[in-house]
Structures are given as structure tokens and as C-alpha cells.
Amino acid sequence: MADRAAGFVDEDLLDAAITVFSSRLPPDWSVEKTRLGGADEDRDLLIKGPFGSPQAPILVETRRDFSPRDIQAFTDDFIRRLRRQAGEMPVLLIAPYLSPRTRELLAGEQISYIDLTGNIRIALRNPPVFIETQGSQRSSAGPARGRGIRGAKAGAVARALIDVRPPYSGAEIARVAGVNEGYASRILDSLEDEGIIERPGRGPIMEVDWEALIRRRAEVVDLLKPTGTYPFVARNGPAEVLDQLRSIARKGSVAATGSFAAARLAPVAAPAMLILYAMEPRRLADGLGLMPVEFGADVILVRPDNEVVFQRAEPDGNLLWAAPSQVAIDCLSGGGRMPAEGEAVIGWMRANEEAWRLPSIRTALEPLGG
């Protein structure tokens, strides 16, 4: 039932996982190896609670390497065989490391997991047991290809994939994103590895999990990073700043994101901080009469790394409201209640996809002369 790939033998990996798991249980709990589902040796687990408590058997599969691309084959093939052997007994996947995306997909398939860095999710129905702990968010084996989604150009590719309904080719996405095809191809490889896009036979991209891509991009974005971010206080409050921008800003040069933009789509609470993208933030601050501060800002101007943050934005006089995908990414990457606002925006996007997502790649290419 277990893989014997190089680097770990089954017994070593299983024993290491038991050590990691046991260290996170109460003192009167234990984990023991046993034989289940026709196994000819002790390679499954029995979770024992305090004296007299029911015991929880769980079928184990060990893998030296496991990525989002392995999920479908694992659920369709391996687990089906296990179910034939052992009925509806729960299944536990053990690996040296499982990425955040892999763990998300396993949880969605109701598969428990343990990795040796301490990422654990055990969900059992009978007896009812739920244990979840967090370990490392990065493999010690080195940088994953999925980290290639970091950076402004990667953000442009992500926005194109999110904002345009597939199918389309990598070359078409590269053109919409304004990057070269080789660079786009590397980003697409990363996203395919993570199970975020589907590209059968390395042909056209047929499916994009846009919600997962928003979350993935938000993980590597720092909207309020020290460099290129300017905090201010508005004399008459941020709402007055918005009114000024509708008339005095150079058309298309300023885009609102964050809480105020989220509240237009899916209000969570009255927004208090206004975040604006501006290519010339100091000049804009002077024109608006904003007062620079170190603490207590209610207006923050952000100089973006490129102009993708202005793409597919909604005009409001001379002001732009950043596209829903950009707002969701920015809010999820922020602090305070901003992540909750980002979740609300994603909920709105899920319910109103026709309102924000371009219906085809042709629609996206037309403004570019395509």
C-alpha cells in the first residue's frame, strides 16, 4: 500500500510521521501501527484515545513526493482500490512535505494527511476526531516551481488567467499579459503543477481555478510593502478624497483598491482606509492636500510595479475602481479586516461571474489589435 521511492523507505517515513503526529496529541492519546485492508504487514494506523474511548483505524499511503497534479489519479485509482478492500475506512496520506495547494485539495477530497514538517489534518467520523496543525509552508528541498508566481509580470499573467474565460493558448495569455511567451510558459508550468490550470497534453488551457489563483497570488503579494507605499491623513476624510479624484485626477491615472473598492461589491463594514494606486503618488498627494504621517493613516498611496493594476478597471469620472480580481488579491494580502473583505469579494465574484469575467480571449485581444 505504500511507495518505495528513493530517499525514504516506507517504514522510515511511517515511523517519522507517527513521531510528528504523536507529539501533537494529548498525553493520554497514542498512535500504533496495525494491519488493515488486506495489508500483510503493520503499515496502517490505529489512533487510541483515553482508556475506554473508541479506537480510530485509518488506512495509510506513503509517498516520497506528492503534488496537486497527483490528486486526481490518487482519488480516482488508488482510493477506489482501497475502498474495494476496506469499505469506507478513512485514508491518510503521508509525505515528507505537502504544499498549501496540495493540502487544500486533499481536504476538499476528505483525505487526511500528515507531512514531516508538522502539517496535519485528521478528520474521522467514527469515532469523531478532528486534528489540524500547521507546519512549514515551504519545502526544505528548495524553491518550488510554484514560487514563480511572485513578481509584477507573474501578476499580469495571473490577472489575465483570472479575468478571461478559457479556452486559450499560452501565447494568447502572454499577449494579454504583455509578457514574452517563454516567461508565460514558465508561469503556466508552475500553475499546472499546482493543479490551478488544466492544459491537457500541453495544449490550450481549458480550465482555470480562478478562486485558487487569486488566493495563490495573494500569498506572494505585499500590498503595503515599505518601498513604494506612502501613508497620509486626509483633512476631511477619505470619502472627500474620492470626490476630489473624480474630477481633478488625470483620467485613468489613479485606481482605488482595498476596503473602499471591496465595499462597492460586497460590503462587510464601513471602510475606513482608502488605498489608491498612483504612478506619481507624491504629486497626487500634493494635489489632494494630504498630510504625511507615520501612524494612523487613512489614505495610502501605492506606486505599482507596472500598470496591470489599472487593467479592466471601472471608470468613475476620472477615477478608476480596480477590477474585482485585483481588489480580491489586494484585500487577501492585507491586514486587519481586509482578508475578510477579500473573501466577501470572492463570494460576489462567484455569484456574478458574468459581470466581471471576459467571455473569451478574443474579447481580451481586441483592444490590443488582435
Model pLDDT for residues 10-22, shown as the tens digit of each residue: 788 898 888 888 8
- On whether both 197 and 294 belong to a single domain, the answer is no
Mean pLDDT of 269-281: 93
* pLDDT over 80 at 143, yes or no: no
What range defines the domain where residue 71 resides?
Answer: 10-133
What percent of the chain clears pLDDT 90, i.e. is strictly above it? Answer: 49
pLDDT-based confidence at residue 203 (cuts at 50, 70, 90): confident
174-192 pLDDT per residue, tens: 999 999 999 999 999 989 8
| Angstrom distance (rounded) from CA 9 to CA 176 | 47
* pLDDT over 80 at 39, yes or no: no
pTM given for the model: 0.72
Is the pLDDT higher at 260 or at 34?
A: 260
Is the pLDDT higher at 27 or at 331?
A: 331
Q: What is the pLDDT of residue 4?
A: 33
Mean pLDDT of 276-299: 93
Is the pLDDT higher at 140 or at 219?
A: 219
Burial level of 189, CB count in 10 A (0-12/13-18/19+)? middle
Q: What is the pLDDT of residue 101?
A: 84
Query: Shortest CA distance to 159 belongs to which of 142, 184, 181, 135?
Result: 184
Residue 258 lies in a domain: yes
- On whether both 124 and 167 belong to a single domain, the answer is no
pLDDT-based confidence at residue 86 (cuts at 50, 70, 90): low
For residue 312, the tally of other CB atoms under 10 A from its CB is 21
In one-letter notation, the amino acid at residue 362 is R
**How many domains, the chain?**
3
What CATH number is given to the structural domain containing 168? 1.10.10.10
SS3 at position 115 = strand
Residue 3 lies in a domain: no
Q: What is the pLDDT of residue 126?
A: 75
Mean pLDDT of 240-267: 90
Peptide bond into 127 cis (omega under 30): yes
| Angstrom distance (rounded) from CA 105 to CA 111 | 9
> Which residues share a beta bridge with 197?
208
Cell of 337: 479586516
- On whether both 161 and 102 belong to a single domain, the answer is no
- Which of 166, 191, 220 is the C-terminal boundary of a domain? 220
Give the position of cell 494506523. 45
| Angstrom distance (rounded) from CA 369 to CA 336 | 42
Mean pLDDT of 330-342: 92
- On whether both 289 and 203 belong to a single domain, the answer is no
Residue 2 lies in a domain: no
Mean pLDDT of 107-117: 90
Residue 367 lies in a domain: no
pLDDT-based confidence at residue 3 (cuts at 50, 70, 90): very low
What CATH number is given to the structural domain containing 53? 3.40.1350
Mean pLDDT of 322-338: 94
| Angstrom distance (rounded) from CA 365 to CA 370 | 5
pLDDT-based confidence at residue 163 (cuts at 50, 70, 90): very high
Residue 362 lies in a domain: no
- On whether both 97 and 74 belong to a single domain, the answer is yes
- On whether both 127 and 163 belong to a single domain, the answer is no
Q: What is the pLDDT of residue 181?
A: 94
- On whether both 90 and 22 belong to a single domain, the answer is yes
* pLDDT over 90 at 340, yes or no: yes
- For residue 78, the surrounding DSSP H or E stretch is none
> Per residue, what are the HEC states of 259-327?
HHHHHHHCCCCCCCCEEEEECCHHHHHHHHCCEECCCCCCEEEECCCCHHHHCCCEEECCEEECCHHHH
Query: Shortest CA distance to 279 belongs to which of 312, 316, 252?
Result: 252
Backbone φ and ψ for 130, nearest 5 degrees, come out as -140, 120
- On whether both 292 and 342 belong to a single domain, the answer is yes
* pLDDT over 70 at 53, yes or no: yes
Residue 344 lies in a domain: yes
Q: What is the pLDDT of residue 85?
A: 60
Is the pLDDT higher at 124 or at 359?
A: 359
- On whether both 31 and 102 belong to a single domain, the answer is yes
Q: What is the pLDDT of residue 6?
A: 37
Mean pLDDT over the full length of the chain: 86
Q: Residues 6 or more apart from 185 whose CB is under 8 A from it?
A: 170, 174
- Which of 133, 154, 171 is the C-terminal boundary of a domain? 133
Mean pLDDT of 266-281: 93
- Which of 202, 220, 238 is the C-terminal boundary of a domain? 220
Residue 299 and residue 245 in contact, taking contact as beta carbons nearer than 8 Å: no
